[in-house]
Amino acid sequence: MAASTTSTRSPGAAGRAAAEEGGRGLTTNRAAFIEKARGQGELFIHQPYELYSEENQETWRRLYGGIAPKWRKYAHPLFLQGVDQLALNPERIPRLEKINEFLEPLSAFESKAVSGYVPAFLFFDCLRRREFPTTITIRDGARLDYLPEPDIFHDLAGHVPMHTDRRFSDVLVRFGEVARTAALDVQKIGDHDRRLRSVESVIKAMARFFWFTVEFGLMRRPDGDSLCVYGSGLLSSAGEIQHAVESPDVQRFPFQLEWVVNQYFEIDHYQPLLFFVDDFDHLFREVDALERWVREGRLYNVSPGEPAINEHDLDSFLEAAH
Ligand SMILES: [Fe+2]
3 state SS for 119-184: CHHHHHHHHHCCEEEEECCECCCCCCCCCCCCCHHHHHHHHHHHHCCHHHHHHHHHHHHHHHHHHH
277, amino acid identity: V
Tell me, in angstroms, the distance from the centre of ligand 1 to residue 148's CA.
11
Task: Provide the 3-class DSSP secondary structure of residue 20.
Answer: helix
pLDDT (0 to 100) of residue 322: 66
Averaged pLDDT of the chain: 91
Tell me, in angstroms, the distance from the centre of ligand 1 to residue 319's CA.
24
Tell me, in angstroms, the distance from the centre of ligand 1 to residue 223's CA.
28
Q: Residue 8: which pLDDT band, with cuts at 50, 70 and 90?
A: very low
What does DSSP assign to residue 253?
E
Residue 37: CB partners within 8 Å, gap ≥ 6? 45, 115
Number of Cβ atoms within 10 Å of the Cβ of 303: 13
pLDDT tens sequence across 252-310: 999 999 999 999 998 889 999 999 999 999 999 999 999 999 999 999 999 999 999 99
Number of Cβ atoms within 10 Å of the Cβ of 304: 10
In sequence order, the β-bridge partners of residue 114 are: 44, 135
Integer Cα distance of 156 and 10 in angstroms: 41
pLDDT (0 to 100) of residue 148: 75
Tell me, in angstroms, the distance from the centre of ligand 1 to residue 191's CA.
34
Tell me, in angstroms, the distance from the centre of ligand 1 to residue 132's CA.
10
Tell me, in angstroms, the distance from the centre of ligand 1 to residue 6's CA.
39
Tell me, in angstroms, the distance from the centre of ligand 1 to residue 267's CA.
11
Tell me, in angstroms, the distance from the centre of ligand 1 to residue 29's CA.
17
Tell me, in angstroms, the distance from the centre of ligand 1 to residue 270's CA.
15
Tell me, in angstroms, the distance from the centre of ligand 1 to residue 278's CA.
21
Inter-CA distances, 309 with 28, 119, 216, 315, 316, Å: 23, 10, 19, 10, 11
- Candidates 319, 313, 285, 117; CA nearest to 201 is 313
The bridge status of strand 218-220 relative to strand 227-229 is: antiparallel
Tell me, in angstroms, the distance from the centre of ligand 1 to residue 3's CA.
31
φ and ψ of 254, to 5 deg: -60, 145
Is residue 15's pLDDT more than 70?
Answer: no
- Assessment of whether the complete model's pTM goes beyond 0.85: yes
Is residue 6's pLDDT more than 90?
Answer: no
Q: Looking at beta carbons, which pairs linking 37-42 to residues 24 or more positions away fall under 8 Å? A: 37/115, 38/115, 38/116, 42/115
φ and ψ of 77, to 5 deg: -55, -35
Tell me, in angstroms, the distance from the centre of ligand 1 to residue 199's CA.
22
φ and ψ of 114, to 5 deg: -130, 160
Tell me, in angstroms, the distance from the centre of ligand 1 to residue 146's CA.
14
Tell me, in angstroms, the distance from the centre of ligand 1 to residue 18's CA.
32
Tell me, in angstroms, the distance from the centre of ligand 1 to residue 158's CA.
7
Tell me, in angstroms, the distance from the centre of ligand 1 to residue 150's CA.
6
pLDDT (0 to 100) of residue 261: 98
Tell me, in angstroms, the distance from the centre of ligand 1 to residue 135's CA.
10
Tell me, in angstroms, the distance from the centre of ligand 1 to residue 121's CA.
15
Q: Residue 146: which pLDDT band, with cuts at 50, 70 and 90?
A: low
Tell me, in angstroms, the distance from the centre of ligand 1 to residue 235's CA.
10
pLDDT tens sequence across 174-186: 999 999 999 999 9
Tell me, in angstroms, the distance from the centre of ligand 1 to residue 2's CA.
27
Tell me, in angstroms, the distance from the centre of ligand 1 to residue 9's CA.
42
Tell me, in angstroms, the distance from the centre of ligand 1 to residue 96's CA.
17
H/E segment holding residue 81: helix 77-85
56 CB-side CA count, 13 A: 22
Distance of CA 192 to the CA centre of its chain: 31
Tell me, in angstroms, the distance from the centre of ligand 1 to residue 225's CA.
27
Is residue 321's pLDDT more than 90?
Answer: no
pLDDT tens sequence across 221-254: 977 789 999 999 999 999 999 999 999 999 999 9
